[in-house]
Chains A and B, each alone.
Chain A
Amino acid sequence: MTTSFDWRLPRGTVIRGKWKRSSYRVERLLGEGANGKVYLVERQRAWYAMKIGADAVDLQSEINVLQAIANAKLVSRSEPYLVEVDDYSGTDGKEYPFYVMRYIRGATLSDFLSKRGMEWFPVAGYSLLVKLSELHAGRWTFGDLKAENVLVSDYGRVELVDYGGVTAFGKSVRQFTEIYDRGYWNAGSRSADAGYDLFSFGVLCIQVYDARRLAALAGSLLPQNRSPEELLKLAQSIPALRPLGDWLAKALRGTFSNVEEAAREWQQWQRRTSGRSSSVVPRWMKGLFVASAALLATTIYWLLRTGA
C-alpha cells in the first residue's frame, strides 16, 4: 500500500515547521514506510528522525498511535519518542505533514546479523519478543513486523520502527507485508491480536536464515496451497532452525496464548542450545583425550619406575 510521493529532499534542505517554526536540516534518507519517508535531520546539534508524508490523515493516524503509546507509558524510555508534529510547505507549493522522533542508531536486523553473525539471533529475537510484549500489554499489535522494521544496536538491543501498522487488538491490521501476513499464508485472520505478531515473528525467523528460499516458496505455491505447514517444512530443512521447530510450530499455527509464553519458551530454547554446544564434544576430541590420558599414565608409570 504505497501512497508515497515521488520527490526526495536533498541533503542540506532546511525544513521549517509552519506552526511551531522549528528548523531542521536534512542529512540523508533513512528509510521509507507506506505513509511517508524518514530522514535523518539535525537541529541544534542533535540528531532526529523525521517522517514526512503526503497525506495529513494517514500520518496523523500514525501519530495518534504513537501518542497513545506514550501516554500509556508502556515503554520505559528516558527521552520522549515523539518530539514534534508540524507541517512543511514544500517548494512545489503543497503542504506536507511531518513528525519528528528520536533517532535510533542501529542496523536493520538482517544487516546486523550478516555483520555480527547468526549467534546474535537468539538474543536479538528475545529482546524483540520483550518489545512486543510491552506493546501487547497496552493491547496493541505491531502489525507490520518484518526484518526492515527491526533496528538492532550494539549488543543486540532492539527497537521497532515504523508504527504505521500498529493496530488496537480486535481491529483490522492497518498495514502488513504479504510474506509476513497470517492471512496470506491461510493461517488466520487479519484481525489484530497477539498471535498476529507472533506469526510474523515466525516468518521472520525463516527470513533471517534463508530469505531466498522463503521468497521462492511464496512465489511457487498456489494461493490456496500456502499454509503454515509449508513454512514449517521449509524451517525443518534449515539445520540451524531445527531445534526451534516446536517453537516455530506454535508461532505459525497460532497456539501460543500470548507473547510472554512465547518468550519463556524462547528462553528455554536459548538455554538448550547454549548448554548443548558446550556439552557436545566432537569425537576426535574424545579420542585425543583418551590418548593423552594414556600417555600421561605411561609417563607417570615410567617416571616412577626410573625414580625408584
Chain B
Amino acid sequence: MKQILLITDGCSNVGVSPVVAAAQAHAEGIAVNVVGVLDQGDLGEFGSAEIEEIARAGGGLSRLAHTRQLSQTVQMLTRKTVVQTIQHAVHRELKQVLGASSIEELPPEKRGEVVRVMDELSETSKLRVALLIDASASMKPKLAAVEEAIRDLALSLQARQGRSEIAVFHFPGSAHGDECLLDLDWTTDVRGVHQFLPRLQMRGTTPTGPAILRVVDHFRAPAPRSYRNPDETDGQMSDYVV
C-alpha cells in the first residue's frame, strides 16, 4: 500500500494544480491524504476547500488539525486510509463471493469473519508513507509539531507486523527552482535522525502540485537515491546542525 500524506497550511500558488497531481497519484495506486494544520485561526475558505479536493482526487482523506492534535490526526488518517484501501479490495471480493456490495449489507454474524480478514491485512500488509511537508514561511512555527508527528507516526508504524517505511519530503526546495526536496529516504526507523526538515531557506511560493508529482516519481523509482542531487543534499545537510 502506498500513501502520500501532505501537511500544509495554505493554498498552492505555483505550477500544476495539486488536484490534478493528486489524481495522477491516485491513478498510480497511491492514496493522497491531506492535513491542513492550524495554529490560530483557520485556513480560510480557499485553503480548506483545496485540501478537501486534493484528498478527494487522491482517493484519500483530509482533516484540519491544530498543532496540538497533529500527531493523532496524522495517525488516524494513515490508519483509516489503510483500512479503506483494504475495504475497497474486500468489497470487490464481497460482490463476487457473497453478492453483497458492502460490509454493512451483511448480517452481523457474517460481518465478523470479513472484518477479521480485513484487520489481519491492515496489520500485515506492506505500507509506504511519503510525508510531504509544506515548509513555506507561514509553516515555520509549526515545523516542530510536524516533526513530532512524523516521529510518532514512525513509532506506530514500527509496531505493525507488516513492513512499514516512511520517507520525508519538503517543499518548496532550494532557491535553485526545485519544487521539492527529499529529506529522508525510505526507512523503517527514524530514531537517530536528529532533524527531518531544514529550518532555513523558506521561500514564499507553495508549489504543492509539482511537489506531489515529484513524490509520485519517487514511488516509481527503483533506486530511491536517483532523485537526489548530491550537491543540493550536502548543502541541506549542513543546515541540519543546530
Q: Which residues of A contact B (CB under 8 A)?
A: 1-3, 19, 56-57, 60-61, 63-64, 67, 85-87, 95, 97, 170-173, 178, 183-184, 189-191, 223
Contacts and interface: CB of A to CB of B under 8 A. Distances in A.
Given A57-B115, A67-B112, A172 B161 contact: yes
Interface stretch (B9-17, B38-46, B147-155, B202-210): B147-155
Given A57-B118, A60-B112, A223 B159 contact: no
25 contacts: A1-B72, A1-B76, A1-B79, A3-B80, A19-B107, A19-B108, A57-B118, A60-B103, A60-B112, A61-B118, A64-B115, A64-B116, A85-B108, A86-B108, A87-B108, A97-B104, A171-B159, A171-B160, A172-B161, A173-B159, A178-B71, A184-B152, A190-B155, A190-B156, A223-B148
Given A19-B107, A170-B161, A172-B123, A61 B115 contact: yes
B143 interface: no
A57 B161 contact: no
B152 to A, nearest CB: 7
A190 B159 contact: yes
B87 interface: yes
B85 interface: no
A191 B159 contact: yes
Contacts of B111: 56, 60
A56 B103 contact: yes
Nearest to B147: A223
Nearest to B145: A223
Nearest to B118: A57
Interface in B144-193: 148, 151-152, 155-156, 158-161
Interface of B: 71-72, 75-76, 79-80, 83, 87, 103-104, 107-109, 111-112, 115-116, 118-119, 123, 148, 151-152, 155-156, 158-161
Contact of B75 (A1, A170, A189): A1
A56 B104 CA distance: 6
Contacts of A86: 108
Contacts of A191: 159
A223 B149 CA distance: 10
Contacts of A189: 155, 158-159
Contacts of B118: 57, 61
A61 B119 contact: yes
A32 B75 CA distance: 20
A183 B156 contact: yes
Nearest to B124: A171
A64 B71 CA distance: 28
A241 B159 CA distance: 32
A216 to B, nearest CB: 15
A19 B80 CA distance: 27
Report which residue of B103, B107, B108, B116 has the largest number of chain A beta carbons within 10 angstroms of its beta carbon.
B108
A172 B156 contact: yes
Nearest to B109: A85
B76 A97 contact: no
A184 B111 CA distance: 34
A1 B156 CA distance: 13
Contacts of B159: 171-173, 183, 189-191
A215 to B, nearest CB: 13
A299 to B, nearest CB: 73
Contacts of B109: 85
A223 B115 contact: no
A1 B76 CA distance: 6
Contacts of B107: 19
Given A3-B76, A19-B107, A56-B104, 5 more contacts: A64-B116, A86-B108, A178-B72, A189-B155, A190-B158
A186 B203 CA distance: 34
B152 A171 contact: no
A171 B111 CA distance: 22
Nearest to A172: B159
Contacts of B123: 171-172
A63 B104 CA distance: 15
Nearest to B160: A172
Given A57-B87, A57-B103, A223-B148, A171 B161 contact: yes
A77 B221 CA distance: 56
